A and B are shown apart, each in its own frame.
Chain A
Amino acid sequence: MTEQTPAPEKKTSRPEAPIQLIVFRLGNEEYGIRIEQVKEVTITPEVARMPKTPPFVKGIANLRGDIIAIIDLEERFKLRPAGQKLPDHSFTLAIEARDYTIGIVVREVPQPLSILASAIEKAPEFIQDLNVHDKYIEGIARTEGRIIIVLDMLKLLTPEEIMQLKPKPASSGTAERKQA
C-alpha cells in the first residue's frame, strides 16, 4: 500500500514509513505511545505506597529487580469518575523515560498498532475538548474510524512533571540539603 514515490535523498525521511504504537485505554479515550518508548508490558506487580508523593503516583514496585515508580494517568488527568478505583488486576506499561524507567497502570491489555506517519496530525485543532493538556500530545492519529491520542512520554515523565503537582516537601530538608 506504500506509494512508490521517487527515492528521496535520505532514507530516513521516507514519508510513508509505518509507525508502531502501543495503544491503551484511559477513561473513554484511546491513547498511544511509540513502541520504542515501551520497555515491556506486564501484570501490575504489588505496589507499595510512598508517602509524600502526589496521589497519582501509586507507589513503587519491584519489576525484575528494578524498583520503579508506578503512576496512574487516569488519576493524573482526571479521566476516571472520582471514587472509582483501579480494578484488582491491571497492567503496567514500563516506559523508558530519559534517565529512568517508570510504570503506567492501565486497565486493559494494551494492543500494538501499526499506522502510517502521515496518519498522525500534528495540529490538533479540537484539542480543547481533550482532558490531556496539549503539551504532552505529539499528535492525533486517525485510522479506521478510531481516534488515538499519541502521547509524548518524554515530556510527560520528566521529574518535574511527576513531582511538581505537590509543593516541594520543604520541611523534609530537601532544600537544606541542596544548599549544603
Chain B
Amino acid sequence: MSTLEQVIAIIADQAVLDPSDVKPESTLEELGIDSLGLVESIFAIEEAFDISVPFNANNPTESDFDISTVSSIVEGIERLRREQG
C-alpha cells in the first residue's frame, strides 16, 4: 500500500467513512474529524509509519506537521520518514 492509501485508510477509519470517500484534497474538518479524532489519527500514523509526529493539540496549526488536508499529511509523513529514517 502506498503512503497515501495507508493515510486514507487511517482517516477513513477515524471518520467512519468508506476509503473511497476520502480524497487527497479532503480536509479533516470536512470529513468530520474532531480534535480527539485528530489526536487518535496522529497516534495511528505514528504507529503505522514508525515515526514521531511533532504535533501539539494546543496549537495544531503552528506545528511543523501540516494537517490541513490528506495530501499535506502524506507529504509530512514522507518528510519525517526521510528525517527520522
> Do A and B originate from a single complex?
no
Which B residues are within 8 Å of any A CB, using their own CB? Answer: none
Give A residues with C-beta under 8 Å from B. none
